[in-house]
Amino acid sequence: MKPKILIGVVSIVLFTSLLMYNFGNSISTYVNFEQAESRSTSHVIGTWDDTQSYGFSKETMRFTFYMKDEDGNVRRVIYPKPKPNNFEEATQLVVIGEMRNSAFHADEMLMKCPSKYNDSDDLEFVNAEESI
């Protein structure tokens, strides 16, 4: 084999493996709160536990609430921003951050909302019907 082709193949393989290695490190998997205890940063999916108190404190500038993960673990979540506007509406929450002393400190929070942009749900249909 020509040395040029060899160098080409080697560099492509090297580049691709480095890229895939780095890609593998930069993605993460969704875990529950218990698994999050032993990790540095985690993505946790769950729903808002509306039976317990929640709210934004203007003193600490933080929003706290309780969240139930997909396996039923409930933990307090602390989010250092105002309550997101569509928080109560969210059918699913994803918090990204770390567990400290059995409270989850979220750096980021994503909300899945039943908005028609993402899916058309029958809930909204009820409203349309009422409006007649």
Residues that bind other proteins (CB under 8 A): 15, 19-20, 22-24, 26-30, 43, 56, 58, 60-61, 78, 80-83, 85-86, 88-89, 94, 100-101, 103, 105, 107, 112-120, 122-125, 127-129, 131-132
CB 104, min distance to other proteins, A: 12
Contacts of residue 97, defined as CB under 8 A and 6 or more positions apart, other chains included, come to 41, 42, 104, 105, 106, 107, 108
Question: In whole angstroms, what is the distance from residue 52 CA to residue 72 CA?
Answer: 15
Nearer to other proteins by C-beta: 1 or 116?
116
Q: Looking at residue 115, what DSSP letter applies? A: -
CB 80, min distance to other proteins, A: 4
Question: How far is CA 14 from each of CA 9, 10, 20, 59, rounded to the nearest angstrom?
Answer: 9, 6, 10, 52
CB 60, min distance to other proteins, A: 7
Contacts of residue 21, defined as CB under 8 A and 6 or more positions apart, other chains included, come to none
Nearer to other proteins by C-beta: 72 or 116?
116
CB 70, min distance to other proteins, A: 10
